Every structure is written in structure tokens, then in C-alpha cells.
């Protein structure tokens, strides 16, 4: 069956972020349970990257499955313009209760990139509805906010976005905040202040950039400055939300509050695609008018899908349980111990940790062919050991589901330490 699935896949499917000609062999997965995935040969893998950062409580979780299957027999989908339903109402109520107090309204979409698109459109049209033209966006260097055109525009430019360069809109980039660069950043913001529709940022951790991290105090200072200059702030918690940083949201590490927040990935516990954008009353009111042209003309077919909202509610119950909160702290502590243990290893250039997110930057020369071989070697090596780790360049990282046992976590650490042993690296 394994080879049959592989061959049929190759005949018809085009995979994301994959050079189909030179890609590693594709692995057909037939089932998941807890932190494990099983391939068609029955081989077990530890999902150490939460299936692209989405899975919170493990695969095929019975509680989520039960709630979703009950909802499936009641109402599977309904148009969200002119209609509503209990799961969307409940989810909005519960989320707003957990978010910073200024978040007052929820706008649903169906993935992270579209949650970002909505946030950007809210900000640009906020200015427009006030009779102003503000169309430039402030973003961090090395940012990643998604792959649709708007989200791609506010992400950092790279080889990957090069074919679309002329079609991307103008963005002013600033460095992520440190103790030393505040004055420089202030000058850039001051220069463009009147044209800026908003500032969009990944708080505390820039995931796709390689788990780059900055300190909450430094981000707070920057946010306070943006607030004083009346620049709207979009906090993209698509990756860091729902416990990844050790607290429920990155917002829980910050004193200053954003105007808009974006969520997806862990929102449904990784069960269904769902995105949402929350905003303050002030943003909402800029669209609340008798004038029909002040409407936010945006919507996706599957907006607020009842099954996805139900999965999100079930996931939230699990997340807030004592057991999961304990597991999150357990993973944080184990990561800390591992960091202390291997910190001075000569093969490690830098170690970074924020809550349950751990990144190990390896001492390797980038852009060399040696580097590419190294990537393929590491990826395959971990797969052979039964661990799914997809390095970002020379950066190994762990974003585990919270149900990952300490035994499995230590097996992953052990496997990483073996890789660091020079005699193991070819
Ligand atoms: C993954 C991600 C997105 C995009 O979400 P998709 O659902 O993949 O479109 C946006 N922002 C951040 C910070 C992300 O990590």
C-alpha cells in the first residue's frame, strides 16, 4: 500500500513549498494518535513540529472528534452573511473573554493568510472611511505573514517572493526591537508617519524566519511609541497564540494592547482550517455607518464554518484544562534544562527558547552546497529515527503538541545530541 499511495500521489498531487523534481520521497500517512503519526507501513513518527505548527493536543483527539461529529449531524455549514449559529457566537464570546480587554469584535475567515488580509484591509479602509489616504504598512524585517498577495507583501522580500516583486505593495521595514535600536526605528517611523496605515508584527517569535526572538519589554516600548503616534497595530498571533509561548497568548507577556489581532493554526487545535481577526471597538465603529460604502466588503465561502468553530471550542476546553496547562509548563521546563545542558556545544551557534518553542541554530556555513547536503541529511536522519523535524535552513526547531510525553521529548533531545557529535556528521 505504501508504494501504491506514493505512486498515485506523484501522478496527481503538487505539494506546498516543494520542488517536485528534487524533493525527498513523500511519506503516506494513514492515521494519527496523540503526538504520533503512522505511515502506510505502520512506521511511527513523533510529530515534533505539530504538523506545521497547528496541532495542539495531538492527532485525532477523541474529545474534539466527538464534539465535531455531533455538530456534523446538526449543522455542517451555513452562509454567515445574514445568518449566524451557536458555535460561532460561543467561540467569539469565549475568545474575547481571554484576549486583551480592548478586543471587541471577531471577523471570521478560513486560514491565517486571509486573517492577515482582513486585518490589513481593516486598517487601510479605517483611514479611508475617515477620509484619509494611508496606504503604507510598517513591518519587521524577516517577517512572515502568509502567502497570499497582501500577506506576502507585508512579509520580508526574498528569493521566494522575487517573481512577484513588482506586484507587491510598499512596505516600510524596521528591525525587531532591541535595547539599542529604538532611536533608529523611531526615526524611520517618524519619517513615514503620515502615510502609515498600520504596523503588523509577529509578537516575540518570528516563526518562519527561523524562530527569531525578541524581548517583550522591547516590543512593548515600540508598541507604546506606535500608540503615541496613532499608528494602528496588528498583532499576528497565528503561530504564537494558544499556549506556544508558555502563556495563552503572546499578548499575555505585553502591557500595551494591539488594535487588531490575527489567529489561525492552533485555533481549532489543528483540526480544521479556520482564521479569525479580532478588533477594537474603535476599528469596528469606523465601518459602522448608514453609508453602505463604509462596509468591509470581504468574506469567504466557508466563513465561520460551524464544524471548525466547534473544533475550536473543544480545543479551547482542552487548552484551558489543568492537565494541558501543566503539560505546557512541563515542556517549558524540560526545554530550559536542555538549553542549559547543550548551550556551550561547539556545534551550536545559538539556542533560542520561548515557552514551548525551542530553536537550535547550528554552526554551519550558509549557502554552501555543504549546507544543502546537511539539511537533507538532518531531515532524513530524524525521519529514520522516527521524528518529524523540518529544519528551517540551519535551524532545528521543536514546536511540539502539548501531549508529547517527557519520554518522547527526551528521546528527541537525545537524538539531537547524537547529531551534534561531530563523528555523526558527514
Ligand atoms: C503560518 C503563518 C501565517 C499564515 O497562515 P496560513 O494559514 O498558512 O495561511 C501567518 N502568520 C504567521 C505568523 C504564520 O506563522
pLDDT band at 422 (very low <50, low <70, confident <90, very high): low
Element (H, E) at 216: helix 216-228
Distance 6 CA to ligand 1 centre (A): 28
Question: pLDDT tens digits for 63-88?
Answer: 999 999 999 999 999 999 999 999 99
The residue behind cell 552546497 is 369
Catalytic residue IDs: 17, 144, 236, 265
Q: Indicate the top mutation candidate among 55, 155, 239 to test ligand 1's pocket, ranked by most ligand atoms within 8 A of CB.
A: 239
CB distance 312 to 274 below 8 Å: yes
Say yes or no: CB of residue 54 within 6 Å of ligand 1: no
Specify the ligand 1 atom closest to the Cα of 265: 7
Identify the CA nearest to 48 among candidates 418, 398, 419: 398
pLDDT on residue 377: 85
pLDDT on residue 371: 63
Mean pLDDT along residues 87-91:
98
Specify the ligand 1 atom closest to the Cα of 148: 9
pLDDT band at 425 (very low <50, low <70, confident <90, very high): very low
pLDDT on residue 354: 98
Mean pLDDT of the chain: 96
pLDDT band at 266 (very low <50, low <70, confident <90, very high): very high
pLDDT on residue 363: 86
Domains, the chain, ordered by start: 2-60+322-424 (3.90.1150.10), 65-320 (3.40.640.10)
Identify the CA nearest to 80 among candidates 348, 337, 287, 276: 276
Question: pLDDT tens digits for 134-164?
Answer: 999 999 999 999 999 999 999 999 999 999 9
The stretches of 272-321 forming alpha helices (DSSP H) are: 281-285, 306-320
**Looking at ligand 1, which residue's alpha carbon is closest to its atom 5?**
112
CA–CA dist 335, 396 (Å, integer)? 14
Q: CB within 8 A of 68, min separation 6: which ones?
A: 271, 272, 307, 310, 311, 314
Share above pLDDT 90 across residues of the chain, in percent, rounded to a whole number: 92
pLDDT on residue 376: 81
pLDDT on residue 97: 98
Say yes or no: CB of residue 280 within 6 Å of ligand 1: no
Write out the DSSP string of 221-267: HHHHHHHHTT-EEEEE-TTTTTTTTSSS-GGGG-SS--SEEEE-GGG
Q: What is the pTM of this model?
A: 0.97
CB distance 92 to 274 below 8 Å: no
Say yes or no: CB of residue 264 within 6 Å of ligand 1: yes
CB distance 394 to 371 below 8 Å: yes
Say yes or no: CB of residue 238 within 6 Å of ligand 1: yes
Question: pLDDT tens digits for 267-287?
Answer: 999 999 999 999 999 999 999
Question: pLDDT tens digits for 192-227?
Answer: 999 999 999 999 999 999 999 999 999 999 999 999
Identify the CA nearest to 265 among candidates 64, 89, 119, 51: 51
CB distance 270 to 55 below 8 Å: yes
Q: Does the structure show a pLDDT above 60 at 57?
A: yes
Mean pLDDT along residues 237-265:
98
C-alpha cell at 4: 501504491
Q: Does the structure show a pLDDT above 90 at 367?
A: no
Distance 237 CA to ligand 1 centre (A): 9
Say yes or no: CB of residue 236 within 6 Å of ligand 1: yes
The residue behind cell 504598512 is 137
Say yes or no: CB of residue 112 within 6 Å of ligand 1: yes
Any idea how long the chain is?
426
Whole-number CA gyration radius for the chain: 22
Q: CB within 8 A of 18, min separation 6: which ones?
A: none
**Looking at ligand 1, which residue's alpha carbon is closest to its atom 15?**
239
Q: Does the structure show a pLDDT above 60 at 41?
A: yes
Identify the CA nearest to 330 among candidates 246, 218, 222, 217: 246
Distance 238 CA to ligand 1 centre (A): 6
Mean pLDDT along residues 355-379:
80
pLDDT on residue 393: 84
Question: pLDDT tens digits for 392-402?
Answer: 888 999 999 99
Say yes or no: CB of residue 110 within 6 Å of ligand 1: no
CA–CA dist 379, 328 (Å, integer)? 26
CA angle 137, 140, 143 (to 5 degrees): 100
CA–CA dist 15, 24 (Å, integer)? 12
pLDDT on residue 374: 76
CB distance 201 to 235 below 8 Å: yes
Q: Does the structure show a pLDDT above 70 at 298?
A: yes
Distance 151 CA to ligand 1 centre (A): 9
**Looking at ligand 1, which residue's alpha carbon is closest to its atom 11?**
145
Query: C-alpha dihedral over 330, 335, 338, 339, to 10 degrees?
Result: -140
Element (H, E) at 199: strand 196-201
pLDDT band at 366 (very low <50, low <70, confident <90, very high): low
Say yes or no: CB of residue 207 within 6 Å of ligand 1: yes
Distance 264 CA to ligand 1 centre (A): 7
Specify the ligand 1 atom closest to the Cα of 240: 13
Specify the ligand 1 atom closest to the Cα of 202: 13
Amino acid at each position: 500500500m505504501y508504494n501504491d499511495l506514493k505512486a498515485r500521489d506523484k501522478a496527481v498531487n503538487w505539494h506546498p513549498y516543494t520542488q517536485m523534481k528534487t524533493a525527498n520521497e513523500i511519506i503516506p500517512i494513514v492515521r494519527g494518535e496523540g503526538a504520533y503519526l503512522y505511515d502506510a507501513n505502520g512506521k511511527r513518527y513523533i510529530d515534533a513540529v505539530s504538523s506545521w505548527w497547528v496541532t495542539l493536543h495531538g492527532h485525532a483527539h477523541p474529545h474534539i472528534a466527538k464534539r465535531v461529529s455531533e455538530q456534523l449531524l446538526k449543522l455542517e455549514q451555513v452562509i454567515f452573511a445574514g445568518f449566524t449559529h451557536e458555535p460561532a457566537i460561543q467561540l467569539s464570546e469565549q475568545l474575547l473573554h481571554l484576549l486583551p480587554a480592548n478586543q471587541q469584535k471577531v471577523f471570521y475567515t478560513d486560514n491565517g493568510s486571509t486573517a492577515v488580509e482582513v486585518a490589513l484591509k481593516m486598517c487601510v479602509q479605517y483611514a479611508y472611511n475617515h477620509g484619509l489616504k494611508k496606504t503604507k504598512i510598517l513591518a519587521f524585517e524577516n517577517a512572515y505573514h502568509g502567502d497570499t498577495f497582501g500577506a506576502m507583501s507585508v512579509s520580508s522580500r526574498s528569493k521566494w517572493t522575487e517573481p512577484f516583486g513588482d506586484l507587491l505593495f510598499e512596505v516600510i521595514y524596521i528591525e525587531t526591537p532591541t535595547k539599542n535600536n529604538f532611536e533608529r526605528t523611531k526615526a524611520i517611523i517618524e519619517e513615514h508617519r503620515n502615510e502609515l496605515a498600520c504596523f503588523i508584527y509577529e509578537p516575540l517569535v518570528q516563526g518562519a524566519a527561523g524562530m527569531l526572538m525578541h524581548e517583550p519589554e522591547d516590543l512593548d516600548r515600540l508598541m507604546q511609541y506606535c500608540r503615541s503616534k496613532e499608528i494602528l497595530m496588528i498583532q499576528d498571533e497565528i503561530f504564537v497564540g494558544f499556549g506556544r509561548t508558555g502563556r495563552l497568548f503572546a499578548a499575555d507577556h505585553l502591557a500595551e494592547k494591539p488594535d487588531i489581532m490575527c489567529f489561525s493554526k492552533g485555533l481549532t487545535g489543528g483540526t480544521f482550517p479556520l482564521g479569525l481577526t479580532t478588533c477594537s471597538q474603535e476599528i469596528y465603529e469606523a465601518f459602522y455607518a448608514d453609508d453602505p460604502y463604509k462596509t468591509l466588503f470581504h468574506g469567504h465561502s466557508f466563513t465561520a464554518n460551524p464544524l471548525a468553530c466547534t473544533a475550536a471550542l473543544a480545543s479551547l476546553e482542552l487548552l484551558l484544562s489543568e492537565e494541558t496547562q501543566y503539560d505546557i509548563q512541563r515542556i517549558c521546563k524540560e526545554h530550559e534544562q536542555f538549553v542549559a545542558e547543550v548551550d556551550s556545544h561547539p556545534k551550536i551557534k545559538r539556542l533560542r527558547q520561548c515557552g514551548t518553542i525551542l530553536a537550535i541554530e547550528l554552526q554551519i556555513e550558509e549557502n554552501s552546497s555543504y549546507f544543502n547536503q546537511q539539511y537533507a541529511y538532518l531531515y532524513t536522519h530524524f525521519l529514520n529515527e522516527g521524528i518529524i523535524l523540518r529544519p528551517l535552513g540551519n535551524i532545528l526547531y521543536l514546536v511540539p503538541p502539548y501531549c508529547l510525553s517527557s519520554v518522547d521529548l527526551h528521546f528527541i533531545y537525545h537524538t539531537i545530541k547524537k547529531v551534534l557529535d561531530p563523528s555523526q556528521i558527514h
